[in-house]
Amino acid sequence: MGPTSSFSLHEAAAELDLHYMTVYRHVRNGRLPATRTSSGWEVSATDLATYACGDRPDRDDRRRHFEERLIAHDDAALWRVVQGEMASGNSAADILQELIVPSLASIGARWQHGELTVLDEHQATAAAAVVVARLGPHIRRIADATRAKSGADGDPEFVVVGAPSGDTHQLAPSIVSDLLRAGGFETIELGADTPAESFAEVVNECAADGTVAAVAISVHVDIEDSSSEAHHNVKDTIAAIRATGTNATVFVGGAGAHGVDAATMGCDYVTSDIDRMLELISS
């Protein structure tokens, strides 16, 4: 590290070769000391150097091993990896962000290039769903404890997450919901194949109990073709959400959202970057 006396969280993440969300969570849970300033969190060079000296196994090796166990649908081995990560001080959200999400992305790319079969991809997705389901309670417990420790009061800020009608992929909404919950929001997960009117109904219910900060629509089915049913289902969902009168930020993201823009869809942002979502929701 150079002579810099302090680092922003983005700079700290780059120095540590870690995901921004990992550094943010470690600041939130006290593992990495940081000071809140008018421009955000700052980490001193001394604290960053101390943190960097911790024993952190090579992430690429861990991810490759995890990826192969997903393809083999080796539930026992996968959970042993998870337990080892937790024993090393990594949170459930860290495991989602650093192991599961990149492993699934790599498996999807390998399938597209013909390196893996459809069966391989489906087995890996099913195995990942088991791990995500087991990690969920850990994330909820830590999020609740963090909120209680911070003494947060006032109305809760909700983020509603789901996949639109016709999109039957459950895993992505679950992961997005868990990561947003780890980021400090109350998430309402609607799951897959959610009708537009159900999104609107839940937004209204949440608005009665607090503030709806955002709605995240996760799409796995390609929606680039404006004449497709999938495209219209997403647009109908956004229109139903807007019709509630909410000021919530509406996001569309996921594997099926490539090639579309926010103006065309009628949402605020098209992004699959959880970091970006948290920054935009919090701003």
**Of 131, 149, 167, which residue constitutes the final position of a domain?**
149
The pLDDT, as a whole number, for residue 183 is 85
Residue 16 lies in domain? 6-52
What's the count of helices (H) and strands (E) in the chain, helices before strands? 13, 8
Query: 242 with 264, same domain?
Result: yes
**Per-residue pLDDT tens listing for the chain (283 residues):** 446 788 999 999 999 888 888 888 778 666 788 888 888 889 999 888 888 886 454 667 788 989 999 999 999 989 988 998 888 788 899 899 889 999 999 999 999 999 999 999 999 999 999 999 999 999 999 888 877 776 666 678 899 999 999 999 999 999 999 999 988 889 999 999 999 999 999 999 999 988 999 999 999 999 999 999 999 999 999 999 999 999 999 999 999 999 999 999 999 999 988 888 888 887 6
Query: 191 with 222, same domain?
Result: yes
Which H or E run includes 217? strand 211-218
269 belongs to a structural domain: yes
Dihedrals phi, psi of 42, to nearest 5 degrees = -130, 140
1 belongs to a structural domain: no
Going edge to edge, which strands form the sheet with 6-8?
A: 6-8, 40-44, 35-37
Of 71, 55, 58, 147, whose CA–CA distance to 103 is shortest?
71
Please count the residues of the chain.
283
Contacts of 268 (CB under 8 A, 6+ apart): 249, 250, 251, 262, 280
Query: 180 with 223, same domain?
Result: yes
Q: Which residue has the tokens 């495209």?
A: 231
Asked if 214 and 249 count as a contact pair (C-beta separation under 8 A), the reply is yes
> In the chain, how many domains are there?
3
- 148 CB burial (10 A radius; 0-12, 13-18, 19+): exposed
The pTM for the full model equals 0.78
Query: 167 with 264, same domain?
Result: yes
> Sign of the CA dihedral 194, 203, 139, 42?
positive
Helix axes 171-182, 118-150, angle to 10 degrees: 20
As given in the structure block, the two tokens for residue 174 are: 């679950």
The pLDDT, as a whole number, for residue 1 is 45
CATH of the domain at 99: 1.10.1240.10
What does the alpha-carbon distance between residue 249 and residue 159 come to, in Å, rounded to a whole number?
A: 9
